[in-house]
Structure 1
Amino acid sequence: MNSWRQPNLLRVAFFSYLITGLYLFMLPWHRDYIEQLCIYLGPSCCLLAILGRWLFIDIRAMVVIAMVSLAYLHQPPVTEVQSTLRQPITLEATVYSVTSYDDHLRLVLGDAESNDGMIIESLNEIRAISSNPQHQLSIGERIRGHGLLEKSGRWLSINKFSYISENEISWLPFHQLRQAVSDRLSTLFSGNELGIAKALILADKSSLDELMRSGYRNFGLLHLLAVSGMHFWLWNALLRRLLGYKLGRLRIPLLVIAALLAGFGPAVSRALGFIVVRDIAAISHRSFSALSLLSIVGMGELLLFENDHFGLGYLLSYTATIAIIVCSDKKNDSALIATMRCSWAAFFATMPLIFHLQSTIEFFSILFSPIFAIFTTARLFIILLSLPLPTQQIAQWLLESISTIELKLISYCDMLPGTPFVATTKSELLITLLTIFALLLATPNAIRRRSMRVCTILIALSCFFYQPTAKVGISMVNVGHGLGTVINGIHTSLGFDLGSQTLRGNRLVDGVYFSELRHNNWPVPNEFIFSHRDADHINGMPALQNRISVVELNHEQALSKTLAPWQVKVFRTRGGLNHTANDNGYAIDLRYAHYRIIVLGDQDGSALFELAQRIEAGPVDIMFSPHHGLSTDGLAMMIEHLRPNEMWVSCSIDNYPLPARPIAEHYGIPMFDTARQPLRYIFDVD
């Protein structure tokens, strides 16, 4: 035991934490008693590891158990679609940044204290939008204001924000530096180039062009448009060459300033930590392997930062970096082969996690990552030189030229199949096996390389041609306040609405909709029927159309829709004299064997009365409660006409208590909602 050196022990601890985190992310475990056990088990094992040499206990085993416990405690809780909090708030806060637009101000506030009893915890910054600015604000100024607080996921923002100054200003040098650089970038650049410059220097992605963001996302390159570890390796390389030997000591301080400008986020602190530790090891003439240095940085991050620092970004970053280190072969590879090997390793190391998260595979990122990284390097170099120099027109023209080349390349490559490859019907086990063999093939000392190639090709072919058995069924996806329904047949599927008031389009499609389809091994519907055109029923369609070709069925196509083995009958609903857009849409009568399901949108009142005159009477197995369970006009009549065995509601926790629930209880009908989990009805086809 005494022969174990600390770097090796740190490596054991770090890899235990990382492997456990990967396992828990892919197969989450959530048991209250396990959490309580880990709270006591982790510190106890750390203490036993410290006393191990005197108690004759295997230190490595204690360290492994302690890190496994810590990884479990760091595991993010399973949360379905987050509630969107909206409430008036009055607070005092300090101004961190100010961005002026033609019709409003966008503020970033910190050190916030609520004056109406609401406690704002674990959030360093709040975004605020003010349409009627009172006076010119200064960084560090203390203000009192009120507005409408909104929370979506982890972000807080305040809309309709009005404020007054408290005539108190704090000295915040780093925030003032960020503001000065932001103002300088606004002077130098405009349009899309300004958005890219702010994203690369200040980690502010709010002004990025949506077309470019969408193109990067389709090729799995979105990380190149944000401050990441790769950017700091580029900064480090650029500063080494620009500063030379005599000014080399300024490199680390300048990197620290760059990290502070970028907000010192997790990816930035990770890359900066590795560079600093590597330089310290070189100065002290200590020889550490790259994996040992990475373990030191990873364990240091665990000690220095809070729990919300660890999640998918931590796992992706370290997994990709470890794969690059293990697969690199600097002695034998040319610069081109070394670059492609690193891209191969990073892609396959992160592929199972990305697939598990959003059910897409971006194979083209292997080739395009090095190409687009060249554009990123050029942009960073231009921005770095333009900050102190009067090169406004030249810098703007150069960045516009790069963007033009990029957009043309994206438009040409977007015609290629599989950009991205949506794989909701693929086996997660085969994807993981493909990752393992592809990484083993890329290692410098791969055993039996020809056999490894054959195995990798066979597994890849199996991934694409083997599809797990999918059963016929219907699913109401958990989209919060909105509606997303999938009806799966033997060979194809049909979508009914895809929208959410709670989730944005890309998060709705990639993180929720595709995840539900992959859970059921169902294909993505390429045909849709919409109940009506409200945003909470269709806002996911642009993001879906960016992934696959989608056909919206018109009236005649919808009425004649076939979806074996389902019998599909579509009704066009019509409202009365004072009808709304909710009343003019579609409803579906689904039948299979002796099962019957009625799918409704937001119809109520006269639209439901009119529909009841045309649709066959019950009983039915499932009836969708119209208008997210919020409307009761005509509901009792519809229940008496259809006599459902159960009712489904697509809603969020914000919609509680549901007005429709007492009516369902009056008729003795159980009502299920999607506020916490999706609803599924699966059939065995004879």
Structure 2
Amino acid sequence: MARGGVWFFDPSSPEFPKRNAAWREFWRAPLVPVAGSATVGLLASRYLHVPPWVFWSAFAGGLILWWVARHGDRWRSRPPWGLWLAAAALAGVYHHLYREEYPADDIAAFATDTPQARRIRAWVLQEPVFRSAKASSLTHVQPLPTTSLLVRVASIETSAGWIPASGRARVTIEGHLEAIHAGDAVEIFGQLSLPPLPDNPGQTDWRGLYRDERITAVLRVRHSPATVTRWEAGRWQSWRGILGYLQQRGEAALRQHLAERQAGLAAALLLGETSALDHEEWDAYIRTGVVHVLAISGFHLTVLASWVWVLMRVAGWPSRSASLLVVGLVLFYTWLTGARPATVRAAAMMCAWCLAWGLRRPPWPANIFALAWLIVILVKPTDPFTIGCQISFLSVFVLIWAGGRWLAPRPPTPWERIRDLGRSPASRALRWCARKLAQLYLLSLLMTVALAPLLLYWKNVFSPAGVLLGPPVMFTSSLALISGFMTMLAAMLGDWAAYLPGRLTDFVLALTAWMVHQVDSWGQGVAYAPAPGILWLIGFYLILGVVVFAPSRRVVQGLAALLVWSLLGLIVTVQPRTSDELRVTFLAVGHGGCVVLETPDGRTLLYDVGSMSGPRIVSQIVAPYLWHRGIRRIDEVFLSHGDMDHFNGLPALLAYFSVGQVSWTPTFADRSTPGVQAVLEAIQRAGIATRVMAAGESLAAGDVQLHVLHPPPQGPIGTENTRSLTLLVQYAGQSIVLTGDLEGIGQEMVQRWLIPPVAVLMAPHHGGKTANAAGRTAQGELVPSPLGQWARPRLVVSCQRTNPTDHLRAAYPTAIIWDTGRCGAITVRVHTTGVTAEAFRTGEKIVVARPELPSVRRATPTPH
């Protein structure tokens, strides 16, 4: 039946299904189908790329259908399908307009994939974010501190002078930028380009992520912040400038009254100032599963609102006035901390709840839940596709409708009441605390299980330690929130007023950090794994929803189905990864090296793992690629030599993957450099077996043969490059040579081996001119390099950043030259039918060698 034009079932009518209270609540909530329809529209726009005219047509058709239903007696008692269709179409076209439509003078029209020197004038939209740089023994070139700006472009300088432009750009400046604030008009000179595309499978697509924020270009300012000039101060004319000022004042108060280590933690906890903590500190909270206490979320708003509500009620404020004050405070705090999806959700739900309380109306959780979802879409239609938004809504759903139903204490029986009266007050208090603690841990377990698939899908991480650590950290962080707000407020009165709350905040945050680092030091509270398949993920949450809404007598059966589904997913992921081809992938890690070999019998081997840009290439490139391939374990890592850009990622790799063995050259472990010593210590802590490899040794991985061509057990004299580990990989009659940084006398020694022509050769020393120089005849004519004449490759792969390759074409005139700087990751597949290669970024595909060619005959290398 229909009342007031809104469709819902009357529970007293015979057509209403006999369900439990949770299902009945969702069934009757009028905003739930509207929110579901809007979600369908978002999905259609994002993944099906439905054109706008289809959405506009569906919107008009939906309104017509709804109008007919409203004015026709025959259709009055039916669901408002037209209204739901209009909602889906409106959400779809809104998402398309927000993410895909830009004016003709957008800054992206002046940018390309290749950075170009440009000068722009723009308004600063957010306070500059400064990130300090931490020195590391595993980084060859120490990183510089950076300042990040989000700007709205006003004009750009071209050959014709200054012309108008629009759009938003992300500016990264090397150094500490001072005296620039949100609202200021600035002129910036730097390298302008489009946001980067991923160079490797599994890598983050920054262009897509920036597009979700309507950021269409990036500007890199190198070496000096002096190239940023302020034209006009606009801090006090911009609400963003005022917001930044309030944040800075709050952070200054925290740094004044707290120890330095706790001040950064407090700034992240209270103000959402994520740059206050370094990457290692953030990683510790991620590994222990309690990062939600730092990322501003509904938890923070709930603590703040509850604290203010209690204070107001104790002070004698009427409930209606107190609820309105809480609404205003929640909205202000949401605005102050940047209106993230989780806080927008929490603010919408909390405001709706307070308004219902103040207006003496019964709150309707399902309707409020759907309203919050619609408000998040309205604020930013791309937010529902972020991990923060999805985890926030899933957590609330599980907390209210699963935890509230399954963990609610049953009413005591008369006999239990009588028995409880016979206990002492202390005994009753202890029993009450024990029950509450048990409920908290059960709720922590329920939330961990419910969120685990989503965290695996987005972050490839599962943190069972969060079950143990969650309740105490939530308690201490709640105290820190309250005392921290009191510290910032009291600081306005004077240092004397902020002393006591500051001491309490410092102590509680120190206790929180101690608990987190203690659990993190165990090393067993986190597991990394490939992401589950999207179909399995959808199935898991569909079953979970059915379990939540199922009648009480069916809950056990539903949980059993959920367990079976989880076991099926686990069985699929742990199945041996076998194939009939050898897959060799040269990852694009900049100036460095990492080659992944996946053998037909399911083994995974790595040849080098390092980069000049530092160890973070493991978390940004190597680990995402391995998870993308479904790899959980690395059987062996080969380190070619002791240069930092070839091994500095190994300690980080050991944190993410189980590694069976690490092999290196005879002189690697003898080096006394800090980087080598750090790697040796990491290997020793992990208890991983090691071995030394020298020329003449051969290894077998199923049908794949690996022959060590260099270095010999002793020497040669020279730099580490002359002793670079050189491997000849053979499978199905085809050969691939991995050279590392081989050069000088090392190349001469390798060329003494007799091998058949190879299909693929790694250009030594990242394709450098010295290691890949073409020869010359007596008449001065260019001839192939000695290495090229020895290997006779069909494809030469250069692992570099963006260096020229003309000299490689002269050194290997009969080979195809690919470099990872241009092509991205290069994947070579070796099969009985031949050798193929594919470039990830450019999409190029070629056949390198075929069985009928003379170059594919199988032979064991022999010295001469």
Same-fold call, TM > 0.5? yes
Establish whether residue 386 from structure 1 lines up as the match of residue 487 from structure 2. yes
Q: 1:498 aligns with which of 584, 604, 609?
A: 609
Q: 2:470 aligns with which of 357, 369, 372?
A: 369
* Counterpart mapping for 1:430-579 below 5 A: 437=543, 445-464=551-570, 467-471=574-578, 473-476=582-585, 478-481=587-590, 482-489=592-599, 490=601, 492-499=603-610, 508-510=617-619, 512-525=621-634, 527-532=636-641, 537-538=646-647, 540-548=649-657, 552-556=662-666, 557-559=691-693, 562=699, 564-565=701-702, 566-572=704-710
Q: Which amino acid aligns with 2:354?
A: D
SS of match in other structure, 1:329: helix
Q: 1:588 aligns with which of 727, 738, 741?
A: 727
Over the matched positions of the two proteins, sequence identity in percent amounts to 17
1:161 corresponding residue in structure 2: 225
Report the structure number with the largest CA radius of gyration: 2
2:157 corresponding residue in structure 1: 116
Deviation track 1:77-101 (CA, whole Å, cap 9, x = no partner) reads: 9xxxx97958565645559647899
Given that 1:274 and 1:294 are in contact with CA atoms closer than 8 Å, whether structure 2 keeps it comes out as: yes
Alpha-carbon distance in structure 1 between the residues aligned to 2:812 and 2:401: 61
Distance 1:264 1:75, change over 3 A: closer
SS of match in other structure, 2:608: strand
Alpha-carbon distance in structure 2 between the residues aligned to 1:139 and 1:520: 43
Alpha-carbon distance in structure 2 between the residues aligned to 1:95 and 1:302: 22
Q: Which amino acid aligns with 1:547?
A: Y
Alpha-carbon distance in structure 1 between the residues aligned to 2:256 and 2:643: 40
Establish whether residue 43 from structure 1 lines up as the match of residue 29 from structure 2. no
SS of match in other structure, 2:456: helix
Q: Which amino acid aligns with 1:516?
A: Y
CA apart distance, 1:380: 0.9
Q: Which amino acid aligns with 1:522?
A: I
SS of match in other structure, 2:605: strand
Distance 1:451 1:615, change over 3 A: farther
Tell me how large the CA RMSD over aligned residues is: 4.7
Distance 1:665 1:642, change over 3 A: closer
Q: Which amino acid aligns with 1:206?
A: S
Deviation track 1:211-244 (CA, whole Å, cap 9, x = no partner) reads: 4322211123223222123222222222222333
Deviation track 1:125-156 (CA, whole Å, cap 9, x = no partner) reads: 745454696xx667755554546679774576
Given that 1:420 and 1:547 are in contact with CA atoms closer than 8 Å, whether structure 2 keeps it comes out as: no
Q: Which amino acid aligns with 1:175?
A: G
Which segment is superposed worse, 539-548 or 266-275? 539-548
Alpha-carbon distance in structure 2 between the residues aligned to 1:323 and 1:278: 18
2:816 corresponding residue in structure 1: 669
CA apart distance, 1:191: 2.2
CA apart distance, 1:261: 2.5
Distance 1:251 1:477, change over 3 A: farther
2:6 corresponding residue in structure 1: 5
Q: Which amino acid aligns with 1:544?
A: L
Distance 1:138 1:683, change over 3 A: closer
CA apart distance, 1:420: 1.9
CA apart distance, 1:669: 2.7
CA apart distance, 1:60: 5.9
Alpha-carbon distance in structure 2 between the residues aligned to 1:55 and 1:665: 74
Alpha-carbon distance in structure 2 between the residues aligned to 1:71 and 1:418: 45
CA apart distance, 1:295: 1.8
* Counterpart mapping for 1:155-194 below 5 A: 158-159=221-222, 160-162=224-226, 163-166=228-231, 168-171=233-236, 172-194=241-263
SS of match in other structure, 1:45: helix
Given that 2:486 and 2:498 are in contact with CA atoms closer than 8 Å, whether structure 1 keeps it comes out as: no
Alpha-carbon distance in structure 2 between the residues aligned to 1:279 and 1:520: 48
Establish whether residue 409 from structure 1 lines up as the match of residue 515 from structure 2. yes
SS of match in other structure, 2:61: helix
Q: 1:299 aligns with which of 359, 366, 374?
A: 374
Given that 1:529 and 1:558 are in contact with CA atoms closer than 8 Å, whether structure 2 keeps it comes out as: no
SS of match in other structure, 2:339: coil
TM-score, scaled to structure 2: 0.65
Given that 1:589 and 1:597 are in contact with CA atoms closer than 8 Å, whether structure 2 keeps it comes out as: yes
Distance 1:215 1:668, change over 3 A: closer
Distance 1:204 1:505, change over 3 A: farther
1:66 corresponding residue in structure 2: 89
Q: Which runs of 5+ in 2 are unaligned?
A: 8-27, 70-79, 101-111, 134-143, 197-205, 211-217, 410-435, 667-690, 774-783, 833-864
2:389 corresponding residue in structure 1: 314
Distance 1:525 1:594, change over 3 A: same
1:422 corresponding residue in structure 2: 528
CA apart distance, 1:299: 1.8
Alpha-carbon distance in structure 2 between the residues aligned to 1:105 and 1:484: 27
TM-score, scaled to structure 1: 0.80
Given that 1:340 and 1:370 are in contact with CA atoms closer than 8 Å, whether structure 2 keeps it comes out as: yes
Given that 1:17 and 1:70 are in contact with CA atoms closer than 8 Å, whether structure 2 keeps it comes out as: no
